Amino acid sequence: MNNCDEFLPINRYDMKARGWEKLDFILVTGDAYIDHPSFGGPLIARVLERAGYRVGIIAQPDWKDLKDIKKLGKPRLGFLVTSGNMDSMVNHYSVSKKRRKKDMYSPDGEMGLRPDRAVIVYTNLIKQAFKDAPVIIGGIEASLRRLAHYDYWSNQLRRSALYDSGADLLVYGMAENQILEIAEYLNNGIDIQYIQHVKGTVFTVASKENIYDYIELPSYKEVSENKKVFAEYFKIFYDNQDPILGKTLVQEHDKGYIVQNSPIMPLNQEELDYIYELPFTRQVHPIYEKLGSVPAIEEVKFSIVSNRGCFGSCSFCALTFHQGRAVQSRSKESIVREANQMIKNKDFKGYIHDVGGPTANFRKPACKKQLTIGSCKNRQCLFPTKCPHLDVSHEEYLDILRTLRKIEGVKKVFIRSGIRYDYLMYDDRKYFKEIVEHHVSGQLKVAPEHIDHEVLKYMGKPDAELYKSFVKEFFKINKEIGKEQYVIPYLISSHPGSTLKSAIKLAEYLKEINYTPEQVQDFYPTPGTLSTCMYYTEIDPRDMKPVYIPKSIIEKKMQRALLQFKDPKNKKMVYEALIKENRYDLIGHSTKSLV
């Protein structure tokens, strides 16, 4: 097989080529095998490989029989299971619960190569094939479903993914250090049922007898029967995500207990550099060549991950629960080494597509105390306004970008992973100008999400006036440098708190700036977010006050149509929305009319 010796084993032939009779760990993933650090499963596999363990990968196994799950044999230490880079239900279904047509993490975008609720299905397969083999689940699907959670697709509360899957241990968040610690215990002969003290993990027990210094949450039964109790529970969960301040959480599930240890400390810069410079091939496995490759590689092939974590804490985003609020970043030297490796790729055309992470222009923790005494429980760094202790600086980030664009063979370095525009506005104008002049590819994508004050409050986003000032400054800079570039705003319709009046207000703003979004995202209640808790309970868990939730299909369609009011097919829906809200002033032939 072409270049297969550079990849981790996927079959017995690969194992034999390495002289291996038995593997230590087998990673089972719902994604196709892409050996790149942007893909969590292969990253964990490489971390274990570097630590001296023999690791194989079973990618997208057939879940309808046991043949694929058995093909590498029984591992010496255990199976690692992930649904892939996305929750399998989000991967499969749109917000309208319709089956998607394409899976970007499968060869040629083919749908149907992974099951719904993949973590549960894969674990059940393994337990059928190898009854006593330890199974550790992780990745975004397991991480955000680690305790009782609202499941949008069934419209009900579900138990912890650990409970539902029957796995032995759940690792949440970015799992590199947890998995190494667990591997060491297993390698030393400790049974997995006794591995109960690793931070960033979740386990089950029959009683609370040996659990200390914990907060007991309302039981699964209690939160299932009372939405107010669920909102109260979620607030406790939300407040205990910090690795310094977070407590152990215990939740009764039927006759046993799910125990979440406190979060693990984020990686430091040296550790992050080490992980991203492991010997990845940075390619799709050759077995997919005849099938049309895997679309997801295109987004990351010539992009560089420079950071993790986000202190933006938007209500609809799960990053707080998965990567944490403390930003971690790679060193300039490590990023430059990756760029120099990238330019040797035969397909590289001189363009580095992105240098960033969850938020490209965050390079360090929000303030000095975040890594010493923890993140504030009752204060956000950027919402409703900038915290006076927030450390705002783009100097280091711009220095990295300047160095990258001077490398021989690099024509342009773009930022596509998302600029936090409010953070940019709080800094010196010269950094804004440099980003616009050198690092925008004609369109700068930012995420105001809405324009109405009430909606933004529930989203945890800054007031609209700051966004308007940003747009004004953007076009002013472009005029100065003689460029014609555009701002592309991401917008969310039907978010908790959004009424028809809110949607009309946003439509009026879009009319004013003469912009029609090509795409609008309806709010998607994904597991584990603050906004999803609001959607389910109709309560804001931060103050326990009621929240308006647009749930009817008609209203959701109206809100969406209003944001694309110029589209002829939306005319009838927009007209009906305006009549319903008595906004006859927006109907007709005036300059302000929407229809």
236 CB-contact burial (10 Å; exposed 0-12 / middle 13-18 / buried 19+): middle
> pLDDT band at residue 5, thresholds of 50, 70 and 90?
low
Contact of 26 with 75, CB cutoff 8 Å: yes
Task: Decide if pLDDT at 2 tops 80.
Answer: no
Distance, CA of 560 to chain centre: 24
| Element spanning 52, H or E | none
What number is the average pLDDT over the span 443-450? 93
Task: Decide if pLDDT at 339 tops 90.
Answer: yes
Q: Note if the pTM is more than 0.75.
A: yes
Instruction: Tell whether domain 269-497 is in CATH 3.40.630.30.
Output: no
CA distance 62 to 30: 10
> Cα-Cα-Cα-Cα dihedral of 413, 418, 421, 423, to 10°?
-90
User: pLDDT tens for residues 156-189?
Assistant: 999 999 999 999 999 999 999 999 999 999 999 9
Tokens of 505: 């207000």
**Sequence-ordered list of residues with C-beta below 8 angstroms from that of 434, at least 6 positions apart, any chain:** 398, 401
Highest mean pLDDT among 163-167, 310-314, 369-373: 163-167
pLDDT of 4: 44
Contact of 457 with 384, CB cutoff 8 Å: yes
What number is the average pLDDT over the span 442-450? 93
pLDDT of 356: 92
The answer to whether the peptide bond before residue 286 is cis (omega within 30 degrees of 0) is: no
As a whole number, the mean pLDDT across the chain is: 95
The domain segmentation of the chain, as residue ranges, is: 4-203, 269-497
Task: Decide if pLDDT at 36 tops 90.
Answer: yes
CA distance 488 to 256: 49
Task: Decide if pLDDT at 508 tops 90.
Answer: yes
pLDDT of 319: 87
Q: Which of 123-137, 191-205, 508-522 has the lowest mean pLDDT?
A: 508-522
Output the DSSP codes for 275-337.
Answer: HHTS----EE-GGGGGGT--TTHHHHTTEEE-EE--S---TT--HHHHT-SS-EE--HHHHHH
- DSSP 8-state secondary structure symbol assigned to residue 265: P
Three-state SS annotation for 549-572: CCCCHHHHHHHHHHHCCCCHHHHH
pLDDT of 518: 83
Task: Decide if pLDDT at 254 tops 70.
Answer: yes
Please report how many Cα atoms fall inside a 13 Å half-sphere around the Cα of residue 550, on the Cβ side. 24
Q: 4-203, which class in CATH?
A: alpha beta
pLDDT of 379: 85
CA distance 145 to 160: 6
Residue whose tokens read 């299905």:
121
Distance, CA of 536 to chain centre: 21
